Homo-oligomer: A and B are copies of this chain.
Amino acid sequence: MSWENNVRKVEPYVAGEQPKQKDIIKLNTNECPYPPAPGVAKKAKEMMCESLRLYPDMNAEKLVNALAEYYKVKPAQIFVGVGSDDVLAMAFMTFFNGKEPILFPDITYSFYDVWAELHRIPYKVCPLDEEFKIRKEDYFVPNGGIVIPNPNAPTGVFESVEVMEEIIRANRDVVVIIDEAYVDFGGESVLPLIDKYDNLLVVQTFSKSRAMAGIRIGFAIGNEKLISYLQDVKFSFNSYTMNLPTIEMGTEAVTDDTYFKEITGKIIATRERVKDEMANLGFSFTDSKANFLFATHERVPAQEIFQALKENGIYVRYWNKPRINNRLRITIGTDEQMDKMLAFLKNYLKERN
């Protein structure tokens, strides 16, 4: 008998590579190419470090209130956490305790099955169709809960709010989590449905559209009862998750809507332009509503292009997994970064002829 017998053994999630060189073009982890709102840097400079000796506000009221005002909901309808991963991990733990399997797409954020394994939650994956679209009927069966990202990752495919509503309506006896990490790049949020469906939890993040992956803020919005259960589990795990710099800088980011619209607009414009130019080089795509493209080439295998890009200091994401092993997920960077990538691809594909 050894202490190892009592260990919860798990296969952890593998995040995208975070190379240490500074001079690369980093298009592999869906970060924002623009800095956070200007007020964030100002807030950092003004921060009273003496206050760090005290515990932060465990309810992160300032941040929660700013989000409540922005999304026009009550503060009691908002839950904040250390990135949307923290929010989702807590939500899985709180809501997915039934005997039936939870459901999510086969091609999706690869943390869902990791959380299910961690919390010993039975799960069943629902295959997307050939165009990487959800088949809504798959979710009209007995289940212990549902999690769907919309837009989906790594496909970028957005499903209409109407289809989402059908799924939510058909599953009133379980919690349905819609993971909207990428919703600000041309998708449409299911947020207006939260007052109608008490089983709907909407999760979003500051890591993509608010350019703050480095600060770790995610949040969930839902009816008050749902949020209150989530808070109970959170306060049974760790009372003080949001530190002082996070609360201060996060609040600043939420309140600058002009900047938010400006950078998300720029990313969408760059995405569409790059798509056109890559199409001319023989690439095809899903109709991504996210801050990345999910691309395949008519002739050259994705893995080869991935390697060639990497050797030239351009990092994109590739998975050697069934159904997506001929696809590249390319984060939308600045126009300058994308032009460098396009120039490389043009040349590479010509030589590779």
Contacts and interface: CB of A to CB of B under 8 A. Distances in A.
Contact of A40 (B49, B89, B98, B212): B49
Contact of A236 (B4, B10, B29, B83): B10
A241 B216 contact: yes
A114 interface: yes
Contacts of A50: 35-36, 41
Given A6-B95, A173-B1, A56 B15 contact: no
A44 interface: yes
A284 to B, nearest CB: 29
A172 B3 contact: yes
B236 A117 contact: yes
B53 A34 contact: yes
B53 A240 contact: no
A170 interface: no
A314 interface: no
A326 interface: no
Nearest to A239: B15
A266 to B, nearest CB: 13
Interface string A86-116: 1001000111111000000000000000110
Counting chain A residues whose Cβ lies within 8 A of the other chain, the interface size class is 35 or more
B82 A241 contact: yes
A245 interface: yes
Contacts of A175: 3, 6
Interface string A243-284: 111100100000000000000000000000000000000000
Contacts of A249: 49, 52, 245
The secondary-structure label for the interface of chain A is loop
A96 B7 CA distance: 7
B239 A85 contact: yes
* Interface-centre pick from A7, A36, A95, A241 (highest chain B CB count, 10 A): A7
Nearest to A243: B216
A118 B237 CA distance: 8
B18 A35 contact: no
A211 to B, nearest CB: 4
A314 to B, nearest CB: 16
A4 B240 CA distance: 26
A96 B3 CA distance: 9
Interface in A1-28: 1-13, 15, 18, 26
Interface stretch (A187-195, A226-234, A345-353): A226-234
A213 interface: yes
A174 B3 contact: yes
Interface string A74-89: 0000000011011001
A12 B232 contact: yes
A343 to B, nearest CB: 24
Contacts of A216: 56, 240-241, 243
A58 B85 CA distance: 13
A232 B10 contact: yes
Query: What 5 A-B pairs come out closest when comparing CB atoms?
Result: A12-B235, A41-B49, A52-B214, A6-B98, A214-B244
11 contacts: A3-B174, A12-B231, A12-B234, A15-B55, A52-B212, A56-B216, A85-B237, A86-B237, A86-B241, A118-B233, A245-B246
